[in-house]
Amino acid sequence: MKKNKPPKVKKNFTSPKRSKFSIITKIWFSIGILVVGYFMSTLIVFTLGSHTEKRIEHVSNYLFPATTQSRLARTAFKEQMDLYEDAVMSGEEIFVESARKNSEKSLQSLKYILDLPQLSDEKRKEIQLIHNHLALFTKSGNTLYKSMTEAFREDMDIKQESDLPPDELSLFMSDKAVRLAHEADAIRDSLRDLCEYFQTSLKEEFTSIIDITYNQRYLNLILCIVVIFVSLTLITIIVIRSIVRPLKRTFMLQMAVEQSIDGIAVFNLMGKIEYVNNAWAQMHGYDPAGLQNKTISFFHTKKQMTEEMIPLVQQIETEGFHVCEVGHKRKNETTFPTMMAVNLLKDEKSNPTHLVGIARDISIQKQNEEELRKARDAAEASSMALQESLETLKRTQNQLIQSEKMASLGGLVAGVAHEINTPLGISVTASSFLERKTREIKELFDQNRLKRSDFKKYIEIGLESASSILSNLNRAAELIQSFKQVAVDQTVEEKRPFGLNHYINEVFISLRPRYKRTDHEISINCPDNLELNSYPGVIMQVITNLVMNSLIHGFDGIEKGHISIEIIERDSKVMIVYSDDGRGMNDEQLAKIFDPFFTTKRGQGGTGLGMHIVYNLVTQTLGGEIECNSTPDQGTVFSIRIPKDPDSTTAQ
């Protein structure tokens, strides 16, 4: 038997690419990251330290001198005011001179603060105002207190040297002293606020510097920990990926090769074995240790080497990889088929180094294929009988379908026959009665006994009988036409373009005699420019049946009802919502609304075919959908969706 060789698989196999960097390089790289991280943390700490140094410099060059000078100014002013009091109490002018010197100290302290470059413009203006105020106060105070001191020391009567009256001069000196006292209080408050401002700023700045120092210490510790952790993590990852994983993959690969169910052998380019796994040795009936330095020909017969292995090696030299069926030889000289894949291994420079062969014993598969072939032949042999049985079943099925159709049609015929029986019976009775009266009038006429009254009576009877016959025959004709539509044996309506609004109005003109003697109202809401390419006769019959259903069933016992027809255009479809406010239906009646011969007026002229015909016309001829919703005493709503062009919708 000819062997079925699988299709050739041509692939370009190359040795896997090794990592661009060695393990030592990666380790040095991680150590470099550690060093760089350390220097970065040191740089960050240095930067933060420089910021702290600037703040300390700000304290030493601005806040501390300003605090000291503001305190000196405040102390000097306090001593100045004390000296003024001493001068008044003792009458010694030296106290006024000492007060002046203290005033100069205060002014010098304020001037020193004003000369600080770090002082803000707003605070500079505030201190300048205090300086000017203090200078004016000192000038006025020195003059006043010096005069008062001289008066007390020389025991001079100020009243005699002044043009002012004595009482007014005393009052003048007292008032001026009071004003200076108020000014002194204002200056004292300003100096106190200034001193407190600089003291508070100095305290806050020292507190902030202390907090920053602590934060820098913790930040330095955190950065050191993070750098060490990241570096150790990188080293761990590099070791795992570069050493542990390759070793694990090598171990797993070795285990997979050793435990593989396929035989695997590695040959050098001279055809000598360098490695075989247990499956290869067991496949050929040997021990793995005894196959070292054996050649490829050791596992094949001469015929297999000539016809299979030599062409396979030649093909591998061209393609690099090949899969095919190859025969092998066991230790007991028996042969067996294998599916063998041979791959040419190459080094980093794409030079071939070894051949790797993977073989699987397919003896059982070949036996299964043979058994499958025999089973397929047996199946093909019995296929003819099975086909004949299938044809018989199909014929039986068709017969059953036809029987069901005839049974259904028989039910329709029985229902229609029952409905037709009454109008036909009345027509036969009326025609028999008319015939008998006609014979009687003929007999009178032949005997010349016909009277005018007899002839007039005969004419009345004839008209009444003819009217009865005509109405009942029309009723029978309607039933027959309905039956033809139910049986899908109706006259095909002609398809043409038409305006729906105009056509529906024409339909209601023809229906006007049916409801003109009632108080029922009908409203139609339809777009004027709505055009359809459909079957107008079918739409007329649908509308007519719906209206008659409302008049006969919905408005039974209702003197004034309302019928609404709402037509909405939606893309390529038309939505027709027909509703009435009649008696409605319960759930049981609603479930059977479209069933043939279901009517609530059995024996009162209802055939039960109107809504069934509507359903068939909408779904089959017009290619649309119809739904009915109803609630007892709340009316009924029919929702109809039809395409503008039924044929185009069917094609889609």
What is the spatial distance between Cα 579 and Cα 562, in angstroms, rounded to a whole number? 8
Which string of b and e fits 618-627 if b means at least 16 CB within 10 Å? beebbbbebe
Residue pLDDT, tens place only, 401-447: 344 345 434 544 554 565 677 778 888 888 888 888 888 888 888 88
CATH number for the segment(s) 493-651: 3.30.565.10
Q: Is the dihedral of CA 154, 156, 162, 165 positive or negative?
A: positive
Per-residue model confidence (pLDDT) at position 9? 42
Q: How many CB atoms lie within 10 A of CB 596?
A: 21
Q: How many CB atoms lie within 10 A of CB 643?
A: 20
Q: Do the beta carbons of residue 101 and residue 123 sit within 8 Å?
A: no
What is the spatial distance between Cα 595 and Cα 585, in angstroms, rounded to a whole number? 15
Which string of b and e fits 533-563 if b means at least 16 CB within 10 Å? ebbbbbbbbbbbbbbebbbbbbbeebeebbb
Per-residue model confidence (pLDDT) at position 513? 66
What is the spatial distance between Cα 566 and Cα 543, in angstroms, rounded to a whole number? 12
Name beta bridge partners: 360: 339
* Topology, domain 260-361: Beta-Lactamase (3.30.450)
Average confidence (pLDDT) per 10 residues, the chain, 652 residues: 44 45 66 73 73 77 83 85 76 77 84 84 86 83 72 49 46 65 82 86 83 78 78 74 72 78 83 82 81 80 82 78 84 86 82 84 84 82 78 62 44 55 81 86 85 85 85 74 46 75 80 77 90 86 87 86 92 92 89 80 64 86 91 92 79 45
Per-residue model confidence (pLDDT) at position 396? 63
Percent of the chain with pLDDT over 70: 81
What is the spatial distance between Cα 607 and Cα 423, in angstroms, rounded to a whole number? 12
Of the candidates 583, 579, 586, 590, the residue with the CA atom closest to the CA atom of residue 557 = 583
**C-alpha to C-alpha distances, 516 to 511, 521, 559, 608, nearest whole angstrom:** 9, 10, 12, 24
Per-residue model confidence (pLDDT) at position 568? 92
Residue pLDDT, tens place only, 36-64: 777 777 777 677 677 777 778 777 787 88
Name beta bridge partners: 573: 570, 643
DSSP state of 91: -
Give φ, ψ of 480 to 5 degrees.
Answer: -65, -40
Any alpha helices (H) in 63-120, and if so which ranges? 64-90, 93-114
Per-residue model confidence (pLDDT) at position 536? 84
> Which residues make Cβ contacts (< 8 Å) with residue 141, sequence separation at least 6?
84, 99, 103, 180, 184
Give the N- to C-terminal CA distance of the chain in Å, as an integer. 54
